[in-house]
Amino acid sequence: MASTLTAVKQAWRTLIWLVVILAILAGTIAGGVLLNAPGASWGLKLGLDLEGGTQIILAPKLESGQQVSGEQLSQAVSIIRQRVDASGVSEAEISTQGGQNIVVSIPGTPDQDTLNRIESSAKLEFRPVLAADAAPTAAITPTATPAEGLSDTPTVAPTNASDLNWITPALQDEFANFTCDGAESQDAGQAPADKPLLACEDGSAKYILGPVEVTGEMISDATSGVATTQNGASTGQWVVNIVFNGEGTDKFAQVTTRLNALTGVQNQFAIVLDGRVISAPTTNAVITDGRPQISGSFSQDTAKSLADQLKFGALPIGFTVQSNDSVSATLGSSQLLSGLIAGLIGLILVVIYSLFQYRTLGLVTVASLVVAAIMTYLVIALMSWRIDFRLSLAGVAGLIVAIGFTADSFIVYFERIRDELRDGKGLASAVEAGWRRAKRTIYAAKAVNLLSAVVLYVLAVGNVRGFALTLGVTTVIDVLVVILFTHPVLRLLATTRFFSSGHKASGLDPTALGAIYRGRAEFRKPTDSVASKKAGAGREAALRQTIAERKAAQLTVDKPADITKDRKDS
Please report the pLDDT score of residue 474 as a whole number: 94
Sheet containing strand 234-244, edge to edge, reads 219-228, 234-244, 293-295
What confidence score (pLDDT) does residue 25 get?
95
Same-domain pairing of 103 and 163: no
Banded model confidence at residue 353, pLDDT cuts 50, 70, 90: confident
Query: What CA–CA distance (Å, rounded) separates 407 from 8?
Result: 24
| Structure confidence by residue, pLDDT tens digits, 110-166 | 777 777 777 666 677 889 999 987 533 222 222 333 333 334 445 578 889 999 989
pLDDT in the model for residue 149: 36
Q: For the domain that residue 65 is a member of, what is the CATH number?
A: 3.30.70.3400
pLDDT in tens, 541-557: 554 455 555 556 666 65
Let me know if residue 47 belongs to a domain: no
Residue 519 lies in a domain: no
Q: Identity (one letter) of the amino acid at 138? A: A
Read off the CATH number of the domain in which 152 is found.
Answer: 3.30.1360.200
Q: How far is CA 159 from CA 156, 166, 268, 433, in A?
A: 9, 9, 18, 82
Are 230 and 346 within one domain? no
Cα dist from 324 to 35, 251, 544, whole Å: 31, 40, 81
Number of domains in the chain: 4
Q: Is residue 522 part of a domain?
A: no
Supply angle C-alpha 292, 295, 296, rounded to 5: 155
Is residue 444, in this structure, part of any structural domain at all? Answer: yes
Which helix or strand (DSSP H or E) is residue 175 part of? helix 169-176
Judging by DSSP bridges, how do beta strands 53-60 and 319-327 pair with one another? antiparallel
Same structural domain, 415 and 497: yes
Residue 144 pLDDT: 34
490 & 382 share domain: yes
In this prediction, what percent of the chain has a pLDDT beyond 90? 21
Same domain membership, residue 277 and residue 129: yes
Domain that holds residue 447: 2-41+332-504
126 and 185, same structural domain?
A: yes
| Element spanning 93, H or E | strand 93-97
Residues 224 and 266 in one domain: yes
pLDDT band at 27 (very low <50, low <70, confident <90, very high): very high
Last residue of some domain: 254, 279, 314?
A: 314
User: Do 236 and 293 have their domain in common?
Assistant: yes
- Output the pLDDT for position 184: 57
If asked whether residues 62 and 183 sit together in one domain, one would say no
Regarding whether 307 and 342 lie in a shared domain, the answer is no
Residue 107 lies in a domain: yes
Instruction: For residues 126 and 111, state if they share a domain.
Output: no
Give the separation between CA 165 and CA 129, rounded to whole angstroms.
13
Residues 444 and 396 placed together within one structural domain of the fold: yes
